[in-house]
Amino acid sequence: MNLLLFPLNMKILVADRISPVGVDLFKTEDGFEVIEAYGSSPEEILNLVKDVDGLAVRSETKVTADVFAAAENLKVVGRAGVGVDNIDIDSATDNGVIVMNTPTGNTIATAELTFSHILAGTRPIVQACARMKDGGWDRKKFTGSELNLKTLGILGMGRIGAEVAKRARAFQMQVLAFDPYLTEARAKDLGVTLASLDNLIGSADYITVHMPLTTETKHMINAETIQKMKRGVRIFNCARGGIIDESALIDALNSGHIAAAGLDVYEDEPPTKDSSLRAIPNLVLTPHLGASTQEAQENVGIDVARQMIEALKGGMVINALNMPSVDPQILQRLSPYIDLAKKLGTFLQQLGPEGIEKVITRYYGKIKDLDTSPLTNAIQQGFLREISDNVNTVNAPKKISSLGIETEEVKLETHENFNELIEVIAINKDGKERSISGSLFGKQQLPRVVSIDGHGVEVNSDAILIVLKNKDVPGIVGFVGQVLGESNVNIANMSLSRDKGEGFAVSVFELDSIPPKEATQRIEQHEAIEKYRVITL
């Protein structure tokens, strides 16, 4: 079983131009129909997406909340490139649509452009070329500097930052790196020195930015941080506009505090024709060319097609921005547990107390060593099955959070009775708890419920169930059997767990059909029965 099981009769809308090789991959895949609609207006897109399963875009097409509302069959949006500013990811998640990008296809192209800017900011090649074409020959005016033995500070050491570092080391530069997620071991492998933000800013001769634009990174380079930099520093941004405060950059370039700079991205794209950026001679500007190489364009087109095809066929989902990506081998290992996890979530929601505020999932045994995020998502999906519409593994975490339910995942070494076990606990605002546990049985790995509120049972997870907690007195099983028999409801199996210390018993009856309301009321009203639930899995 896969996380995504869709019928192989897929319609793909390619709304922006991607590599013809990528389009051909869609066309040659069995069961895939391709619609190429380049340059379509927003109104045309709304009409075209009504029955498509996949939507491939670059940056031109805006995939808005209206698009997701109109696209009833849409399952995957693939961005041929990195940035997803044109895609409403929150709306995608609400509608259960995977959003994926292709972050590796343009890595080399962007790293090489960044280093081209670094070189152009070191030797004034652009300015000298322009003067030459005007008829000049100003050798003394265009004296530059050398990269050799200078210090480069890299803000963000992801794929592109790492490639820039590799090129800097070839020029005999010392490299400082600031990245909250970079380990000492990884830094050593890359040949860079980890540094704090303040240390990097104060020590670097060159600074280049390779971070996403977030609330934390917006205007990370500003008037205050620039004043902490060396006089004569050089700054470059081929990542995202807005990380550098352009007004502060202009002032520092005009004052000479910053010797040179290079930008490929801007706070507003394109900059206005009268933008002050265009008038500064020691600032090299390019029109967002980071991924503009033939190789990069082909790579991202191929990547997005392969990723979308794999996801739509029920395989591995990679580079997804709104759900976990799982290795196929791990997914195969988890597959039997995914079905069990959904059933446990459904069981818990129907069993649980009113006003659930927290759901805790515990994984015991070897299963804890795997990526359990698909299982946690499946539990949440099962929990929401009876109380929310259009739930899948993409939107379940957000939907359960929107209900005000906190979730927690715990991994434990062993369980006293089972080699591998999943336990799910619901807690309400008054602190009342109910729990359900499950495991797999036999060579066929059949899913079974093995515990309810700590009482050991063995229950088929595919049945209609009656769950009772009752005083441990004679006659309860006979009474329930009689009521169900009189209502023509057949009992397929039952499991009984007694707790002599508490004086209570937990009974689970597997039924062939849902008991009528009258039978349910008679059972609930019995004085010895404390809790009663009909569970449909």
* Residue 399: per-residue pLDDT: 85
Between residues 495 and 53, the one the model is more confident about: 53
Regarding predicted confidence, which is higher, 369 or 165? 165
Q: Is residue 420 a contact partner of residue 365, using CB atoms and an 8 Å limit? A: yes
Catalytically active residues, by annotation: 240, 269, 288
pLDDT at 328: 63
Q: Has residue 163 got a pLDDT over 50? A: yes
Q: Given this model, what pLDDT does residue 503 score?
A: 76
Categorize the per-residue pLDDT at 502 as very low, low, confident or very high, splitting at 50, 70 and 90: low
CB proximity list for 415: less than 8 A, separation 6 or greater: 364, 365, 421
Per-residue pLDDT of 110-149, as tens digits, reads 999 999 999 999 999 999 999 999 999 999 899 999 999 9
State residue 5's pLDDT score: 46
- The pLDDT value recorded for residue 101 is 93
Q: Is the pLDDT of residue 166 over 90?
A: yes
Each residue of 217-250: pLDDT tens digit?
999 999 999 999 999 999 999 999 999 999 999 9
pLDDT tens digits, 423-480: 999 999 889 999 999 999 877 888 888 988 888 888 887 778 888 888 888 888 899 9
For 388-424, how does the pLDDT look when each residue is reduced to its tens digit (9 = 90+)? 767 877 888 888 888 889 999 999 988 888 889 999 9
> pLDDT by residue (tens digit) across 248-259?
999 999 999 999
Contacts of 390 (CB under 8 A, 6+ apart): 95, 96
The DSSP secondary structure of 502-537, one letter per residue, reads TTEEEEEEEESSPPPHHHHHHHHT-TTEEEEEEEE-
pLDDT, one tens digit per residue, over 299-353 is 999 999 999 999 998 777 888 888 877 666 677 778 888 889 999 999 899 888 8
Residue 214 is encoded by which pair of tokens? 């977030």
Q: What is the pLDDT of residue 3?
A: 42
What pLDDT does residue 4 have? 46
Residue 428: how many CB atoms within 10 A of its CB? 15
pLDDT for 315 equals 77
Q: In what order do the strands lie in the sheet with 10-14?
A: 32-36, 10-14, 54-57, 76-79, 98-100
- Predicted pLDDT at 43: 95
- Tokens in use for 518? 């009258």
Q: What's the pTM? A: 0.65
Q: CA-to-CA distance for 537 and 460, rounded, in angstroms? A: 10
Domains and CATH numbers, the chain: 10-103+295-312 (3.40.50.720), 107-285 (3.40.50.720)
